[in-house]
Structure 1
């Protein structure tokens, strides 16, 4: 039996994939604990009996972390690093250090955006693995922005000097021991990053706590069903886009219905027989019954849709989303539209295409096959066990 400490940011899309891996490890008899800046969120997603070490840290969308909705491109990336990722790392480091010392993990599993995990593990001499819950870092996305890349490298060096091992050399986003990429090389594309320690294990899809109250009987099996969602972190910018989606579906009510996720209540239109507007949905079971997804190209939503063989219309907003949207379009599994400018007419045309042109669904089904063959949480857990075994061998040789 081994011990694994998962270090995660307070972000749903980064916790959910790790939950599946943690559950698989627990099922194999290992002990699992968590370090997170939002224990309440962690317990809600991972289960109330989870062992959680609380850490300090900013909560996205609150205080100085409120990102102006108009920020895009390099400025949005700079804001993310300066106002969230770097402060989160600095604030989490003491809690992560205490968790490592108290729990005594054989391996630390650090999310790519929980930089304290890798830095603290390196400083304390504990083997660590990277949990890469978005595939954006596996392409040379900053190749055309060398100044931005240099700036991020400088910021990482400052973090290492403050909370890590000043003599260390590892990039805290990429463990030299093991990187679990929750995607496949096929989906990332021909330029996907490779390396001996990088393992493409496919999406980690696992059962989640049941969500009561969804009106399943509202769905009309005689019409195509579309899910429209912008995830949990984009409610500040979604009003116009959701309104255009609503109009696009209503104009096709004879053959189409939609479930629109509207957590902030930005839509003034009431739900009706053609459009169901709800604050949240049981996404995994719903994906088993939808024919297309319209989303912001968030990595989790995209992977969960393609896991079910569902084609997409993707409207990236910022951060890793343009990269993921490019992967969807490049794979032929969907159509990319412009979030800030797309009209109801254009959205309708895109929906018609992914629903009725067979190429998009065929590509989505091909990606589905690859995703499931990669192994997901089962493969990730096996790789982590192998890392523990390698560490044991190295310790024996050293002694």
Structure 2
């Protein structure tokens, strides 16, 4: 079977797909990938044919503010609306034309498409190809019991909260995401594709795919009234690592401390370390604990000089799969991949993030009782210290995180995802 993966040029979208791609290769399938030029070397190292963006703009974690200087000044709903239109909706027709061109050289049998590319309807309806929607973020399909996206709501507990969330949903649909939805409809109209009025823009990848690979366990999602049989919760999908890359991530970390804390601000919103990394270090630097900081390659040298304490170790990148084996609390802005990996090891979290969908991840962490949500992207050191102290003092937090770990154990996520792709490739697109 010829399989085409297609993803944004953003680590949090690309990386979770790599383990699935390599598992499919191991199972004898031919795999190619459509994504940004930034991943050319990585794909080459995996032996995967690369079709780089040609018409599409390459949106990366490190170039968004360069492409759109005004983005750095936006907060909350305005930031969500801007990203929806500029980063996601604007590229739909460019993505599709690139994929259609790639198909002339690589006539694929099934496409595995990043949910945020929004080309599922075009690939399925115009190319007649089975499509698997790959969701590297929380389940975005609307449901009467699930709060509207991007506000960080938990399921409503009373009529007042339900009314507030209903109004927020209308605000999201009619104002915040309206430019993105209009752009999406206009681009589809140019191809003669009518987009249903019911539902939300974020429902489209679910509506137009033959199957959905949803990362994370179902227990980390909110309860739903409607069960979509096409959605397969597969667990924590880790980035592919060659055998030679294993076992090196924790070298140099002292193990003589009674407690280990891990801090990260993610891979996208990492430029201003005063948001989370610095206040977190100020909160915990004097604890009798090993403090491991992953900067994502931003300001590592300066941060090391600023915090020379022997218990603070600052790295560009950290092998979370290794260090979470002995971590007590994970302090993060709420990237979904990191949150899943933390919980797959039974590690409770302190989360502080708003943009890029982080508020929805953090609301799920809070709802599941496996972490403390500070509900801001710029927490105060005192609030971080209090949250960390609360988790360390109450064994219930670790107990619930370990209970969640059971939902990750047993199944092989890459194997489960590969099986979803294979089954979709054998079906007629619908």
TM-score > 0.5 by shorter chain = yes
Task: Give the match's secondary structure for 1:381.
Answer: helix
State yes or no: 1:219 paired with 2:230. Answer: no
Q: 1:298 aligns with which of 332, 335, 340?
A: 335
Q: CA deviation at 1:206?
A: 4.7
Q: 1:382 aligns with which of 419, 423, 430?
A: 419
- RMSD over aligned Cα, in angstroms? 2.6
State yes or no: 1:58 paired with 2:71. Answer: no
Q: 2:126 aligns with which of 123, 140, 147?
A: 123
In the alignment, what sits opposite 2:376? 339
In the alignment, what sits opposite 1:104? 107
In the alignment, what sits opposite 2:137? 134
Deviates more, 1:76-85 or 1:263-272: 263-272
State yes or no: 1:348 paired with 2:376. Answer: no
In the alignment, what sits opposite 1:234? 269
In the alignment, what sits opposite 1:259? 292
State yes or no: 1:166 paired with 2:201. Answer: no
For residues 97-128 of structure 1, what are the alpha-carbon distances to aligned partners after superposition, in whole Å with 9 as ceiling and x for unaligned?
11223211111111011223552343111111
Q: 2:169 aligns with which of 145, 166, 176?
A: 145
Task: Give the match's secondary structure for 1:277.
Answer: strand
Q: 1:90 aligns with which of 89, 93, 108?
A: 93
Kept in 1: contact 2:8–2:59 (CA 8 A):
no
Q: Structure 2 unaligned runs (5+)? A: 150-165
Kept in 2: contact 1:109–1:131 (CA 8 A):
yes
In the alignment, what sits opposite 2:219? 186
Q: CA deviation at 1:42?
A: 5.4
Q: Distance in 2 between matches of 1:245 and 1:166?
A: 49
- Higher relative contact order, structure no. (Cα contacts within 8 Å, ≥ 6 residues apart): 2
- 1:13 and 1:283, CA in 2 relative to 1: closer, same or farther beyond 3 A? same
Kept in 2: contact 1:308–1:368 (CA 8 A):
yes
- 1:196 and 1:48, CA in 2 relative to 1: closer, same or farther beyond 3 A? closer
Kept in 1: contact 2:8–2:117 (CA 8 A):
yes
Deviates more, 1:164-173 or 1:59-68: 164-173
Q: Distance in 2 between matches of 1:181 and 1:93?
A: 22
Q: CA deviation at 1:202?
A: 1.8
Task: Give the match's secondary structure for 1:288.
Answer: helix
In the alignment, what sits opposite 1:78? 81
Task: Give the match's secondary structure for 2:426.
Answer: helix
Q: Distance in 2 between matches of 1:369 and 1:67?
A: 44
- 1:321 and 1:260, CA in 2 relative to 1: closer, same or farther beyond 3 A? same
Kept in 1: contact 2:17–2:239 (CA 8 A):
no
Correspondence 1:301-312 to 2 at 5 A? 301-312=338-349
Q: Distance in 1 between matches of 2:405 and 2:43?
A: 24
Q: Distance in 1 between matches of 2:247 and 2:109?
A: 38
Correspondence 1:13-32 to 2 at 5 A? 13-32=12-31
Kept in 2: contact 1:65–1:84 (CA 8 A):
no
Q: Distance in 2 between matches of 1:118 and 1:289?
A: 44
In the alignment, what sits opposite 1:317? 354
Q: Distance in 2 between matches of 1:34 and 1:201?
A: 21
- 1:388 and 1:299, CA in 2 relative to 1: closer, same or farther beyond 3 A? same
Q: Structure 1 unaligned runs (5+)? A: 395-399
Kept in 2: contact 1:181–1:198 (CA 8 A):
yes
In the alignment, what sits opposite 2:278? 243
Q: Distance in 2 between matches of 1:64 and 1:94?
A: 22
- 1:330 and 1:211, CA in 2 relative to 1: closer, same or farther beyond 3 A? same
Which ranges of 4 or more aligned residues in structure 1 deviate by more than 6 Å?
none
Correspondence 1:351-366 to 2 at 5 A? 351-366=388-403
In the alignment, what sits opposite 1:397? none
Kept in 2: contact 1:110–1:118 (CA 8 A):
no
Deviates more, 1:381-390 or 1:67-76: 67-76
Task: Give the match's secondary structure for 1:160.
Answer: helix
Q: Distance in 2 between matches of 1:347 and 1:53?
A: 44
